[in-house]
């Protein structure tokens, strides 16, 4: 290999990033570990959990005998991720902080810090994902200027790197990487690409990294001023109870309504009134839809696939939650870069604010934020019932007046 390539690996103190750094070292790279502090948080005892994570990451680097750095992105996380979450919640949407953190923090600020400040030839993370390029190709990639127009000139030469699913489909994390830039993807290694989670845990144990195996999963963050309102039945518009704040409720979740014998589920929210509409069954037709629209879609290869650009329509697969089964769909490209997605079957609890992530084969094509939903099965059923009733009314014979 000649001079050792310098790879800066994000280390969180968890098992995945620890084994990623271990594999890089074993392959002969010059490895530097960097812990990112994105949040100031305290546990139940008032101890800063981020400090404990940082200590775990430091132990990993010391065990592997690699340099350790800590960098703070608390300010950037607040302005580019958390403030966005608050605005989305206020609009009645349910955002995805993990996708946004990867886009803005790990594969933007951290990526530039590693390359420009630490002089890295590439970065690495512990994500379960692959790319279409060989590792050695990563070090040959020159930074590409972002397009100045909506899509690139069709005569421009391209050498796009594709994001592909990892070998462990149960742990595949391409969903969370669906908003990162092509420029970052070109310079990223995913050492866990061909491994399963069980094998990664085994490697950590054999390498003496026992402390990372006991680490708890990270917790979510939520503190927003409560805005109370009513639970309202979607069927007859009667008030079923009161809630303390609709902002944390997402479509499809069970609504905790006191005094109700049966379970009720959130099917819609009215931001203007604070009402949360509920239905009496987990499989109520008001929860199922088969069409949605995104904002401007983020294609990981910058441009939409040639077939979609040429015909404005394309068949592929869809998911909006990490582990949901992929659903066949038809995508329609709009002039503003947004897309309509028509699903082959109705899906439960499609949620505005979440990301619609598209796949073709094992390639993750990218994602777009869901901003509009098509009618629910319940709305369609009621519409048909009204049409049938109107038709029957028109077919009734009229009696001739007697004179």
9: annotated active-site residue: no
Beta carbons of 132 and 186 less than 8 angstroms apart: no
What gap in Å lies between CA 338 and CA 295, rounded to an integer?
5
Q: Is the dihedral of CA 79, 83, 84, 85 positive or negative?
A: positive
Residue 341's beta-bridge partner residues? 292, 331
User: What is the model's pLDDT at position 69?
Assistant: 97
The model's pTM is 0.89
pLDDT digits (tens, 9 = 90+) for 209-226: 988 887 655 544 445 666
Mean pLDDT calculated for residue range 263-283:
94
In three-state secondary structure terms, 32 is strand
Average pLDDT, the chain: 89
Six token digits for residue 362? 């094992």
* Both tokens assigned to 20: 């990623």
| N- to C-terminal Cα separation, the chain | 107
Of 54, 101, 329, 364, the active-site residue reads 101
- Does residue 101 have an active-site annotation? yes
CA distance 16 to 20: 6
pLDDT on residue 259 = 84
**Partners of 6 in beta bridges:** 30
SS3 343: strand
Instruction: Tell me the pLDDT tens digit for each residue of 25-78.
Output: 999 999 999 999 998 654 445 555 688 899 999 999 999 999 999 999 999 999
Q: Locate the domains of the chain by residue range.
A: 6-152+159-213, 229-282, 286-378
Residues 232 and 222: their CA atoms lie apart, in Å, by 25
E strand map for 262-349 = 264-270, 275-279, 288-296, 298-299, 313-319, 327-333, 338-348
Rounded average pLDDT over 268-289: 94
Contact 146, 31 (CB under 8 A): no
**Torsion, Cα of 191, 195, 197, 199 (10° steps):** -110
Q: Regarding the domain delimited by 286-378, which CATH topology (the fold level of the hierarchy) does it fall under?
A: Elongation Factor Tu (Ef-tu); domain 3 (2.40.30)
Fold of the 6-152+159-213 domain? Rossmann fold (3.40.50)
Secondary structure class of 379 (helix, strand, coil): helix
- The domain covering 229-282 belongs, at the CATH homologous superfamily level, to Adenine nucleotide alpha hydrolases-like domains (2.30.30.280)
pLDDT digits 0-9 by tens, 126-173 = 999 999 998 888 888 776 655 556 555 554 556 799 999 999 999 999
Q: What tokens appear for 210 in the block?
A: 């026992």
């Amino acid at each position: 290999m000649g001079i050792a390539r310098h790879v800066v690996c994000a280390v969180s103190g968890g098992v995945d990033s620890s084994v990623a750094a271990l594999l890089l070292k074993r392959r002969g790279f010059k490895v530097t570990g960097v812990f990112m502090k994105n949040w100031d948080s305290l546990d139940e005892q008032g101890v800063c959990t981020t400090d404990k994570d940082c200590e775990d990451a430091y132990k990993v680097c010391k065990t592997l005998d690699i340099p350790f750095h800590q960098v703070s992105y608390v300010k950037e996380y607040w302005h580019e991720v958390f403030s966005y979450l608050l605005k989305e919640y206020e609009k009645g949407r349910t955002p995805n902080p993990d996708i946004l953190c990867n886009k803005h923090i790990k594969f933007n600020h951290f990526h530039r810090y590693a390359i420009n400040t630490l002089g890295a030839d590439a970065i690495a993370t512990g994500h379960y994902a692959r790319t279409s390029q060989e590792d050695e190709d990563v070090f040959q990639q020159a930074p590409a200027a972002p397009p100045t127009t909506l899509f690139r000139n069709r005569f421009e030469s391209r050498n796009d790197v594709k994001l592909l699913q990892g070998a462990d489909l149960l742990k595949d994390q391409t969903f969370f990487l669906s908003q990162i830039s092509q420029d970052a993807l070109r310079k990223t290694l995913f050492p866990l690409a061909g491994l399963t989670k069980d094998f990664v845990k085994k490697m950590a144990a054999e390498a003496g990294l026992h402390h990372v195996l006991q680490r708890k999963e990270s917790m979510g963050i939520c503190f927003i001023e409560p805005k109370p309102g009513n639970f309202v039945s979607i069927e007859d518009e009667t008030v079923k109870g009161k809630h303390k704040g609709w902002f944390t409720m997402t479509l499809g979740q069970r609504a905790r309504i006191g005094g109700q014998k049966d379970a009720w589920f959130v099917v819609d929210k009215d931001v203007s009134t604070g009402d949360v509409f509920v239905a009496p069954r987990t499989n109520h037709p008001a929860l199922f839809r088969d069409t949605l629209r995104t904002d401007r879609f983020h294609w990981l290869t910058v441009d939409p696939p040639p077939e979609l650009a040429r015909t404005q329509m394309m068949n592929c697969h869809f998911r909006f939650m990490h582990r949901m089964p992929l659903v066949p769909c038809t995508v329609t490209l709009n002039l503003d870069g947004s897309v309509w997605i028509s699903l082959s079957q109705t899906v439960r609890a499609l949620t505005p604010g979440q990301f619609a992530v598209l796949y073709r084969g094992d390639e993750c094509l990218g994602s777009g934020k869901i901003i509009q939903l098509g009618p629910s099965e319940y709305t369609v059923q009621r519409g048909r019932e009204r049409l049938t009733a109107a038709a029957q009314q028109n077919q009734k014979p009229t009696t001739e007046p007697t004179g």
